[in-house]
Structure 1
Amino acid sequence: MKALRVNYTTTAAFAPTNQANIAGIVEELKELNHPGIRYSTWLLPNGKTFMHFDQFENDDAHDVLTSLASFKKFDEELWASGLESEPVVELITLIAATETYYD
């Protein structure tokens, strides 16, 4: 299993576009219905800081996400937007959970 947490802050003006781009990723992932990808994004109270929490069965599943057209659009527009704080990517390790994740 590979789990990532990514945090960054957009400008207030770009936050709605970022939300729409993330919704596009979710839509494409739902259509794909890949069993090895769990993807979620959270918006912090300031309305412009995003936290992505993604779990992948393996590196190949992660590669599927980053190869999606919707992800490429999101990534390109995010970097071009003039971020207030750049993404911080952390590999995290599951210790315990109430639900079953990938082995």
Structure 2
Amino acid sequence: MIVVKVSYTVEGAYVEKNQENINIFMEDFKKLSGNDFRYNVYLMNDGQTFVHLSHFKNPDIQNKVLNVPSFKEFQKQRDESGLNNSHKLEEWSFLAATTDILNEP
């Protein structure tokens, strides 16, 4: 399983637009079939820092999800909004959960 955390901070004026773009790609993600990935987005208490936490069953599923056109457009607009070097990507190793994530033991 591939687990990725992405965090970034946007300018206050861009928060609402970023949320709109997230809603668009999340609707497209929901249309993808299967139980091969989980994708969650959070807004930190500062009201400007977003955290995306994703779980992918394998690299093929990750590639499929990350190439959804609305997601690519979200990334383009987010990056062009001016992130001031706040973008951070981390890959984690899955160890355990209280619920069944992607049918993993």
Gaps of 5+ in 2: none
Tell me: CA distance 1:62–1:96, structure 2 relative to 1, closer, same or farther (3 Å).
Answer: same
Q: Distance in 1 between matches of 2:67 and 2:56?
A: 14
Q: Distance in 2 between matches of 1:32 and 1:78?
A: 23
Taking only aligned residues, the RMSD between alpha carbons, in angstroms, comes to 1.2
Structure 1 runs (4+) greater than 6 angstroms displaced: none
Structure 1 length-normalised TM: 0.92
Matched with 2:46 is 46
Matched with 1:15 is 15
Report the more deviating stretch, 40-49 or 24-33. Answer: 24-33
1:24-55 per-position Cα deviation (integer Å, ceiling 9, x unaligned): 11100111234211100000011110000000
Structure 2 length-normalised TM: 0.91
After TM superposition, the structure 1 = structure 2 runs for residues 67-78 of structure 1, keeping only pairs within 5 Å, are 67-78=67-78
Shift of 1:63: 0.6
Q: 1:10·1:85 contact (CA, 8 Å) conserved in 2?
A: no
Q: Distance in 2 between matches of 1:81 and 1:97?
A: 35
Q: Distance in 2 between matches of 1:86 and 1:65?
A: 23
